[in-house]
Structure 1
Amino acid sequence: MIDPEIAAAVDLTLPPVLPSNLAVVRAGGRVVTDAELARGGAVTFAESDADGVPVLVLRPAGASGPPVLHLHGGGMVAGTRRTDLHVLAEWVTELGVVLVSPEYRLAPEHPHPAPVRDCFTVLEWMARNGFGSPVVAGTSAGGGLAAAVTLMARDLGGPAVRGQLLMCPMLDDRCDTPSSHEFPDGNTWVRASNITGWTALLGDARGGPDVSPYAAPARATDLSGLPPAYVDVGSADLFRDEAVDYAVRTWRVGGDAELHVWPGGCHGFDQLVPEAALSKRARAARMAWLGRVLYR
């Protein structure tokens, strides 16, 4: 069941994301304004080019602190470098972070490995340009990409990653967990939308035996040697079970993971309804972890 305060504030009757309506979905995305980014002058921001990948860089108006590489959501098929930043800019004002948000290429026009390659390119660009070791963060599809980029950094011997912040992450192309079947409708991201996103990214390979963990991190057989992870998801999110499993498998190999399952949270609840009581609790817990990892 979805938290009543959140359910009253979001439209749970929207049609699923399908190939036939993808252009409409993209055009209807929330546009984060310059004023929202600036937060009354507390944040400065600028566009940049990270070796061919457009990025938006947000900095505190005062002294700059440690970096966060943020990868936006959108089911692998939608979203921009401004997506979700109307809320996440608070990391800049509250924690002093420098936030880098890439415009990675989208499926189906650019299937795997294009999106994760773009994100890893930005990580390498940050390492070469004096940003320091970031926490890699992401929401939904961006959460899956954040996990994938962290796996790539481990397997390729760098660049260094300080932590991974996985918010309602999209991790498993097989779509076979109980929660992935639990929401055929009446939610902000439903089963048909999920299949659309994964099929756009992987084509006929989706669900098959040969999918790379850099496309679907749930496919990784070894989660050892990774930086600390923060994994959170709502109890009413079809990604619930794959997110929980990722944290559990991290613990099993001695890894560091903090897991939160927010009761009544639908997919993306804290960014869709940021002033809801549940959203404030989720954001506060996330920011506390981020502060510990960045400043310890």
Structure 2
Amino acid sequence: MRITNKMIDRQLRTRGKIINILVRKSAEEKFVKSMHTNKKMMSRTKGKNIEGLTCTEEWISRANDGSKLRIRMYKPLHPKSHVPGVLWIHGGGYAMGNPEMSAVTYKRLIAESDCVIVAPDYRLSIEAPYPAALQDCYDALLWMKEHAKELGIRDDQLMVGGESAGGGLTAALTLYARDMAEVQIAFQMPLYPMIDDRMITESSIDNNAPAWDSNSNRWAWKLYLGDLYEKDVPGYAAPARAKDYSNLPPTVTFVGDLEPFRDETIQYVENLRQAGVPVDFEMYEGCYHGFDIICPKAEVSKRAISFFVSSFKYAVDHYFAEQRH
């Protein structure tokens, strides 16, 4: 799907052009190198505080080998008890990023619900391919349940969300948690999720949109899947390949109509609805990948953010309607 400048929302065009100049790479080797560079740069934000929130950090043990996983915790300055617990999974094509990069989202969610957010610094694909990231997220989810009383959250109504690759991990984690039956996820928020490695949809073929195009998508999947790339990829790695979407939690998601993930998101929503899962979904015209983060002041971004936050607030009011102790 070839994207022209005229197809892009006017308020998104300038930054889209700048991003193309700064980050577009012509070869896989350059893409991988840029992921390593990004990891070094992002490490400088470790320990960053967020005004108006209590931010703490802890290292928990991974179940498989006892090694340590860093998690960040975000609370209101005056926390309450029995509030929603949200596991937020950062994006970055499975290859870059850290929990600190989602600070704006944390502030929005906590402002709506006084929730507690746990954000894992999961292993990136440049460090370890699938299933490392999923295992880390699941370990963090189990830790949330086990430490619910200390965190001030309910252990039976946890929520999970993330954008892009974080959305992909959100979708994978809800599948995995359903099948493992050790923890209940009440609501999921996989925003414009990265869920289909096959790249066979119209929107993912030959897409040249700003921020994330077909080349970036292909190289990122190759890094994430490792030896599984172009083989029998499981649904826990690429949730678009899953066969059973029943008994998954109510969902909210949105996507831009110009980005590679458009069609796989639409199909994912349809799969959920056919399985009887309630879904709030919107698609935004003239929008490339991550438009709400890249251009948060654009009118279309404001609409998308409002939709997401309103859906989250509805979920909190619906699932946490019982009297809090």
Question: TM-score, normalization: structure 2?
Answer: 0.84
Q: How big is the shift at 1:204?
A: 4.4
Matched AA of 2:69: V
Distance 1:91 1:37 in 2: 16
Aligned 8 A contact 1:43 1:93 in 2 = no
Query: Of 25, 32, 51, which residue of structure 2 is paired with 1:22?
Result: 32
Q: Is the counterpart of residue 243 in structure 1 residue 243 in structure 2?
A: no
Q: How big is the shift at 1:58?
A: 0.6
Q: How big is the shift at 1:279?
A: 1.1
Which residue pairs with 2:177 in the alignment? 153
Q: Is the counterpart of residue 191 in structure 1 residue 207 in structure 2?
A: no
Distance 1:97 1:34 in 2: 22
Q: Is the counterpart of residue 49 in structure 1 residue 81 in structure 2?
A: no
Aligned 8 A contact 1:87 1:271 in 2 = no
Aligned 8 A contact 2:201 2:263 in 1 = yes
Which residue pairs with 1:71 in the alignment? 89
- Cα 1:293–1:37 change in 2 (3 A) is farther
Aligned 8 A contact 2:108 2:309 in 1 = no
List gaps (5 residues or longer) in structure 2: 1-6, 62-67, 319-325
Q: Is the counterpart of residue 255 in structure 1 residue 277 in structure 2?
A: yes
Q: How big is the shift at 1:293?
A: 1.1
Question: TM-score, normalization: structure 1?
Answer: 0.92
CA deviation string 1:127-178 (max 9, x = no partner)? 0001333210011001000011100111011311011101110000111111
Aligned 8 A contact 1:87 1:274 in 2 = no
Distance 1:3 1:158 in 2: 44
Q: Is the counterpart of residue 232 in structure 1 residue 254 in structure 2?
A: yes
CA deviation string 1:35-71 (max 9, x = no partner)? 98523xx211011123222111110112343111000
Aligned 8 A contact 1:19 1:196 in 2 = no
Instruction: Single out whichever of 82-91 and 67-76 deviates more from structure 2.
Output: 82-91
Q: Which has the higher helix share?
A: 2
What are the residue-to-residue correspondences of 1:109-148 with 2, within 5 Å? Answer: 109-130=127-148, 131-132=153-154, 133-148=157-172
Distance 1:289 1:203 in 2: 35
List gaps (5 residues or longer) in structure 1: none
Which residue pairs with 2:78 in the alignment? 62
Query: Of 12, 24, 27, which residue of structure 1 is paired with 2:20?
Result: 12
Q: Is the counterpart of residue 290 in structure 1 residue 322 in structure 2?
A: no
Distance 1:286 1:3 in 2: 20
Instruction: Single out whichever of 237-246 and 196-205 deviates more from structure 2.
Output: 196-205
Which residue pairs with 1:205 in the alignment? 228
Instruction: Single out whichever of 186-195 and 87-96 deviates more from structure 2.
Output: 87-96
Q: How big is the shift at 1:2?
A: 1.8
